[in-house]
Amino acid sequence: MVDEKQSLKSPSVPYESIWDARPRKFSNVLIQVTGFILLMEVSERMSYFGINQGLKNFMQTVLGWSTVSANSIKSTWSSLCYISPLLGAYLADERWGRFKTIAIFGTLYFIGNVLLVISANPHVLNWKETSVDGYFDRVGANTKPAEGLFVFALFACIGIGTGAIKSNIITLGADQFNPNDEREAAQKITFFSYFYWCVNFGAAFSYGYLATLCVKGSAAITPDNGYFATFLICACVMAVALLTFFAGSSRYIKVPPNSDAMSKLVRVLFQASYSSWSARGACTGFVLLILSFILNLTAVFLTEGSSARQILTYAAGVMVILGCLAFIATGINSHEMAKAKRSNGGRVDDQSIDEIMKVVRVLPFASFLVMWYCVYDEIDANFQSVSQQTDLRFGNEWNATQLSGAVLGVFDPIAIVICIPVLDLAIYPFYKRITGKAASPFGKVLVGLLIATFTMFYIGGFEIIRKNSGVILLGNSTNPDDKIPVISQSGGQPMNAIKWGWNIPQFVFVALCECLINVTAYDIFYSEVPEYLKSTCQAINLFMVAMGANVASIFTLIFQSQIPNDINDGHMENMFFAVGATLVVNVIAYVIVMRYMQFGMVTEGENLNLGDELNDKQVEANRSSNLLNARDSFTQQRS
């Protein structure tokens, strides 16, 4: 993060005393000030995860879209949610400040919530009422008006709104604590822990209760009103989030815009591109990746199976490959940017080039994470398709209670809560005792990428086993001797004779990868770049998360002919194997390039960022601070 003491340019109040100038003093900033922010976060996360878990099934079972369209649109929307933090970070740091940015985009987010509720109303969906109150006839319904409202709410409001506030809420909370006050500095660490638990509580509530409500309804809510009720709850808790946020307004420290890091990065690269091909490569790579997103965003809304959709999909895939290759080539040869220094006849001052070169050097590492983020995005898309055609029943009867397929997503945050302390307190210390040195960032990420690769081959093999287990055929109460497929209440497709519990490993594997890769990646981004560019580097990482979701959508569209609505009739495993094979190539390239660059090879306690003049104690303190900031940023991504 930007150095707080150096970055604020306030004409009236020095940054060191901005907390002393607070109109009202608080004995406990954690509770009395950031309590409002924590309440906003838990409410907003309930809203976001409540929408996120239900999107795929809403598009399929309510709007009648295909599995391919639902999964690809879901992944593309996730991509937008991780691109828009760039906008939020820019406006907060350079234009509006964090409070105004959250207020404006939080309101846009809420408007999207309201429109989403309207689109899920049975009457707006043009369903016909039946003689039974709360139940509707969907046959022949014209859902086009609702579809347009749904897409606008999802992409123009919620996707942009949630991303723009994502990069600012946790930082606004951190701003409230005076770093010169030991008690408040300690409360700040506690704040990050509470924030992380708010995120996971929101996820647990949504993947637990709301995932069931939207599919099955409840005592007072019929299944036909399930999504309407779910999205209504999401809108209500988002309203609570905004009201809570504004209620605490008078208590907040509102740091004004104080950084031009993102603009400077773009400006320096553009100016350097006149004399440096590596600077041109960095600019070209970014443009290619953005172009890939635009092409894919267009493709997902084209007619399924059309040649136009196929052409745009392959073009989007080529753009991603070329963009990542441009980033890799640029990073390997980042030293070439020295040609742009004024001392070498270039247009940019020497110090700026030296600083931006460190960011450019991170680009190859960031590029190799795209395929991992593709795997990460599968949790709420294609993994869910597989889960919903396993046996979700509790018992063996035709009408036995069923688990909602989306509920299985809760095992991801549960596993993360378990894995992080196990790794920090047991696995990493054990490795250090055995080898005599701490695990390097390079090694942690390598293990994570290998597990991600295994995960895709595992789910591919599991999909073959699932299909071979056969559809569950039973007689019902009306025709007990018949052999009728038992249908999943979640996705409306036949369930196969393999229990839902066998889906859990893939969610646990992904969670383990998150702990190994994401936390370590944030540590590297904090350690490898100058202080004022740390937040910008985190924004670059979120952008690569977006590209991973973009790639997940591209893979789904490429294999659309093998992914029918009833995946028992298709070969979804081929897509999983293709992703796995791509990951194998990605891992090999990662090892070769990172070893060549000697990137991320240093271990805990070694210097990643500071000069040799610092003593061991100072280096260790710097490293510990980086690790703490890395976990804070990991929490920000989870949020």
Contacts of range 177-184, beta carbons closer than 8 Å, 24 or more positions apart? 177/19, 177/29, 177/34, 178/19, 178/20, 178/29, 179/4, 180/16, 180/19, 181/19, 184/19, 184/29
Neighbouring residues of 579: CB distance < 8 A, sequence distance ≥ 6: 371, 374, 375, 456, 555
CA pair distance 476, 449, nearest whole angstrom: 46
pLDDT at 3: 38
- DSSP secondary structure letter of residue 341: B
Say if CB 259 and CB 532 are below 8 A apart.
yes
The 3-state DSSP class for residue 209 equals: helix
User: What is the enclosing helix (H) or strand (E) of 264?
Assistant: helix 261-272
Which residue intervals of the chain bear CATH 1.20.1250.20? 35-258
DSSP class per residue in 414-481: HHHHHHHHHIIIIIHHHHHHHHSSPPPHHHHHHHHHHHHHHHHHHHHHHHHHHHHT-B-EE--SS-TT
pLDDT at 166: 84
Measured distance CA(37)–CA(46) in Å, rounded: 14
Query: What stretches of 27-159 show up as alpha helix (H) in DSSP?
Result: 29-32, 34-57, 67-90, 98-119, 144-151
Query: Which residue ranges of the chain lie beneath pLDDT 70?
Result: 1-17, 476-477, 481, 602-639
- Give the pLDDT of residue 603: 58
Partners of 341 in the β-ladder: 348
Q: What is the pLDDT of residue 611?
A: 41
| Identity of the residue numbered 301 | F
Alpha helices by DSSP H, 167-260: 169-175, 182-205, 211-216, 226-247
Question: Percentage of the chain with pLDDT > 90?
Answer: 71
What pLDDT shows up at residue 605?
A: 44
pLDDT in tens, 234-282: 999 999 999 999 999 999 999 888 888 899 999 999 999 999 999 999 9
Contact 330, 282 (CB under 8 A): yes
Give me the chain's average pLDDT, please.
Answer: 89
The residues, ordered by sequence, that sit 6+ positions from 396 with a Cβ below 8 Å of its Cβ are none
Domain 35-258's class? mainly alpha
Residue 609: per-residue pLDDT? 43
Question: How many angstroms separate the most distant Cα atoms in the chain?
Answer: 88
Interaxial angle between packed helices 534-558 and 572-597, expressed in degrees from 0 to 180 and rounded to the nearest 10: 150
pLDDT at residue 621 in the model: 43
**Closest of 196, 151, 153, 191 to residue 45, by C-alpha:** 196
Contacts (Cβ under 8 Å, ≥6 apart) of 105: 88, 160, 161, 164, 165
Residue 638: predicted pLDDT: 56
Q: What is the DSSP letter of 402?
A: B
Closest CA to 440 of 562, 299, 325, 591: 591
Q: Do 553 and 296 form a contact (C-beta atoms < 8 A)?
A: yes
Cβ-Cβ contacts under 8 Å for 430 (sequence gap 6 or more): none
How many DSSP H helices and E strands does the chain contain?
25, 4
Q: Which helix (H) or strand (E) holds 290?
A: helix 277-299
Other Cβ atoms within 10 Å of 182 Cβ, number: 9
Length of the chain counted residue by residue: 639
pLDDT score at 167: 75
Q: How far is CA 266 from CA 269, 272, 314, 352, 355, in A?
A: 5, 10, 29, 12, 13
Neighbour-count burial for 314-332, b at 16+ CB within 10 Å, e otherwise: ebbbebbebbbbbbbbbbb
pLDDT value of position 475: 78
